Structure 1
Amino acid sequence: MLAAPSLPNFQRAYGQALEHLITTPQFTNRPRGNHSQESLGLSFTLTDPRARSLFLESRPVNPIYHFAEALWYLGGRDDLAMIGYYARRRRLDSSDGVTIVGSAYGKRLFPAPFDQALALLRSERDSKRAFLPVFWPGALDDPASPDVPCLIGLQLLAREGRLHMVAYMRANDANRGLIADVFSFTFIQEFAARLLGLELGTYTHHVGSMHVAVAELLHLADVAAEAGHSVGQPARFAPESMPAGSGWEQVRQLLVHEEVLRTNQMQYAPADIAALDLSPYWQEIVRLFEVQRQLIHCAADPVDADLLTALTPAHRWQVTRRWAKRMPAEVTA
Structure 2
Amino acid sequence: MVIVLRADTLDDLLREAIETILNDGELTNPTKGPALDVCGAVLTLDNPLARLSRSEGRGRLFSSLGELCWYLSGHNDLSHIAYYISTYSKFAEEGVIHGGYGPRLFAFDGINQVEYVVNTLRKKPSSRRAVIQLFDHSDVAEHHEDVPCTCTMQFLIRGNKLQLLTYMRSSDTWLGLPHDVFCFTMLQELIARSLSLPVGSYTHFTGSLHLYQRNISAAKAFLAEGWQSTQSQMPEMPQGDQWAAVEKLIHTEELLRSGDGLVPEMLDGSPYWADVARLLAIYALVKQRKVGDVAAIGETMDNSIYDVFIQDKLENIVR
TM-score using structure 2 length: 0.91
Q: Which amino acid aligns with 2:23?
A: T
Deviations 1:150-200 (A, max 9, x none): 000100001232100000011011001001001000000000000011111
Q: Which residue of 1 aligns with 2:38?
A: 39
Deviations 1:85-131 (A, max 9, x none): 111111122111x21111x1121112511111211111111111111
* 8 Å contact from structure 1 (residues 320, 327) kept in 2: no
Q: Which residue of 2 aligns with 1:87?
A: 85
The whole-number CA distance in structure 2 between the counterparts of 1:82 and 1:203 is 27
Measured after TM superposition, the shift of residue 276 of structure 1 is 3.0
Q: Which amino acid aligns with 1:114?
A: V
Aligned to 2:304, which of 293, 313, 320? Answer: 313
Matches for 1:1-333 after TM superposition, within 5 Å: 4-25=4-25, 27-32=26-31, 34-57=33-56, 59-96=57-94, 98-102=95-99, 104-110=100-106, 112-143=112-143, 145-227=144-226, 229-230=227-228, 234-235=230-231, 237-267=232-262, 272=264, 276-296=267-287, 298-299=288-289, 304-311=294-301, 312-322=303-313, 324-326=315-317
Q: RMSD value over aligned CA atoms?
A: 2.2
The whole-number CA distance in structure 1 between the counterparts of 2:209 and 2:17 is 8
The ranges of structure 1 where at least 4 consecutive aligned residues each deviate by more than 6 angstroms after the TM superposition are none
Matched position secondary structure for 1:19: helix
Structure 1 gaps, min length 5: 329-333
Q: Which amino acid aligns with 1:39?
A: V
TM-score using structure 1 length: 0.87
The whole-number CA distance in structure 2 between the counterparts of 1:308 and 1:324 is 13
The whole-number CA distance in structure 1 between the counterparts of 2:290 and 2:120 is 51
* 8 Å contact from structure 2 (residues 51, 181) kept in 1: yes
Q: Identity, % of aligned pairs?
A: 28
Q: Which amino acid aligns with 1:100?
A: I
Measured after TM superposition, the shift of residue 140 of structure 1 is 1.6
Measured after TM superposition, the shift of residue 320 of structure 1 is 2.1
* 8 Å contact from structure 1 (residues 163, 199) kept in 2: yes
Matched position secondary structure for 2:132: strand
The whole-number CA distance in structure 1 between the counterparts of 2:139 and 2:312 is 38
Q: Which amino acid aligns with 2:114?
A: F
The whole-number CA distance in structure 2 between the counterparts of 1:240 and 1:265 is 28
The whole-number CA distance in structure 2 between the counterparts of 1:248 and 1:174 is 30
* 8 Å contact from structure 2 (residues 192, 199) kept in 1: yes
| Distance change in 2, residues 1:259/1:126 (3 Å) | same
Matched position secondary structure for 2:155: strand
| Distance change in 2, residues 1:138/1:117 (3 Å) | same
Matched position secondary structure for 2:170: strand
| Distance change in 2, residues 1:257/1:170 (3 Å) | same
| Distance change in 2, residues 1:217/1:193 (3 Å) | same
Matched position secondary structure for 2:267: coil
The whole-number CA distance in structure 2 between the counterparts of 1:193 and 1:117 is 10
Measured after TM superposition, the shift of residue 327 of structure 1 is 5.0
Measured after TM superposition, the shift of residue 30 of structure 1 is 1.6
